Structure 1
């Protein structure tokens, strides 16, 4: 029902292309510039931070995606004539309880894992907390990060999931296409330069996980909460010189990253555990049909 409810008479997949195409072209050009000009993204970020400060660089990085969220929602409302509620969920109203549950469970897990690693390996971290810069970061993060993560979720798990699903009549095509594109868009991140392309396993795996919970739950609420928790807690809790977010966080990781269990573990163990928890709490069933079944278009518009 989640995908199908975006269908309307005179459906034109071409109207789905401008926003993702512009976004993809910008990402490709950014990646091409980095490669052709041999730009070291870690050094570039460090230079920007030294010149402008962490909080200003943070805003410059994240604000464009926050603005993009507004543009996407306006496009859906006035070009597609679709309600934001129907882009978000198949329920009669957005279930904020689901958003906060996913946010809480992933934020708690992230904090717990970070604290365990901090006390187990104190030499890997520096105390980075400064009250005033952190307070400013907290305000900026609480406002901007949910908008940034919501843009990515509305674009991939909402807008493109529905558009591709209706165009191909295939839930599996929508799931795989959006997950792979979501992962590949992170290819210019500094983390890729440090760990290599193997980290794409994590990015694509995360996209696949978010797509699965959206299709199984017939709505984006869980994905919205999870993604917001992931970025918000990370920005506030721990930073390093080689991550995309350079922030005035509580801790700073000073070790060099290694491509190992930290990449594979979430995809093969942690995400399946979360799927189990969500499935029991929200009584999911009929997995095969919801993930790989055919999209059957309604005979009338339903939003």
Structure 2
């Protein structure tokens, strides 16, 4: 139902290609302020600097604000494409329900916040030598304001693009659910390949990025809407930004703690994330919202509603 409702609007795949171009232009324009600020700081040397150094060229709160700003421009560009290119209401891109279920967003946000805070607390208790107290009141309060306002915009952009726009676009093209689930997850993970974490820990960490893409895609398909995915993604990025940073992360922040452990990837941590944490999240949501018919919702066909008129073709 969630993917199939895109058939009610202009769903020709060529429109999605143009839409992605519009979004790419929006993101590029949105990154101009950050690029200009770095250029003013580093000059032409910036073109020879590795990404890890570029990310620390500016004061971290200022850099974070400018980087997150680009996602706001990207989200506006995406909504523009959906409204004027597809003539589709944003509600139909968000959910198959008659209105956005904010209780779902809040529930998912709280569950994820508990998992993130709990995970960091357990890590601190088990290996306190890997954590450095990094709290500084004024910079942290500035970070708090920036993060609370702009990180949900960043995560919403990614959800609307991958679990919304591309999920529906690919789904209406191939007429099934598993292909858009897999493709959007691979693209979502692949776009993180330039992150400093990959250079530090190796390509095995890509399993984590692809895994979270699969989790959010499964949640969206099973729940027939993005509300749970929106809440999960926002809480995940927000609490990590506020509580823990390191020299090897994409976002350098004035967080409460700094990870000073030796940069090596422990495979068991990724396996716990993929094989324990994510299944627990799915189990909680499945129990809470009574999910059934998993096979059809994840692998079934996407059928065009018979009630559509010829005038509603692409």
TM-score (norm 2): 0.88
Aligned to 1:291: 298
Distance 1:103 1:204, change over 3 A: same
Cα distance in structure 1, aligned partners of 2:163 and 2:105: 14
Aligned to 1:41: 51
Cα distance in structure 1, aligned partners of 2:240 and 2:17: 32
Deviation at 1:10, TM superposition (A): 5.4
Question: Any idea what the Cα deviations from partners look like across 1:154-205, whole Å, max 9, x if unmatched?
Answer: 0000001011101110111111111110000000000000011111111111
Cα distance in structure 1, aligned partners of 2:91 and 2:135: 39
Structure 2: stretches of 5+ with no match in the other structure: 32-46
Q: How many residues align?
A: 291
Is residue 189 from structure 1 mapped to residue 195 from structure 2 by the alignment? yes
Partner SS for 1:191: helix
Cα distance in structure 2, aligned partners of 1:126 and 1:61: 25
TM-score (norm 1): 0.91
Deviation at 1:119, TM superposition (A): 2.7
Question: Any idea what the Cα deviations from partners look like across 1:76-119, whole Å, max 9, x if unmatched?
Answer: 11221111111100111101111111110111111111112223
Aligned to 1:169: 175
Aligned to 1:5: 5
Deviation at 1:73, TM superposition (A): 1.2
Cα distance in structure 2, aligned partners of 1:209 and 1:39: 35
Among candidates 228, 231, 235, match of residue 234 of structure 2:
228
Is residue 118 from structure 1 mapped to residue 124 from structure 2 by the alignment? yes
Among candidates 261, 270, 273, match of residue 266 of structure 1:
273
Among candidates 159, 164, 177, match of residue 158 of structure 1:
164
Matches within 5 A, 1:229-248: 229-248=235-254
Distance 1:76 1:22, change over 3 A: closer
Distance 1:115 1:11, change over 3 A: closer
Do 2:10 and 2:88's aligned partners in 1 also have CA atoms closer than 8 Å? Answer: no
Moved more, 9-18 or 156-165: 9-18
Do 2:19 and 2:82's aligned partners in 1 also have CA atoms closer than 8 Å? Answer: no
Aligned to 1:280: 287
Structure 1: stretches of 5+ with no match in the other structure: 31-36
Cα distance in structure 2, aligned partners of 1:141 and 1:79: 31
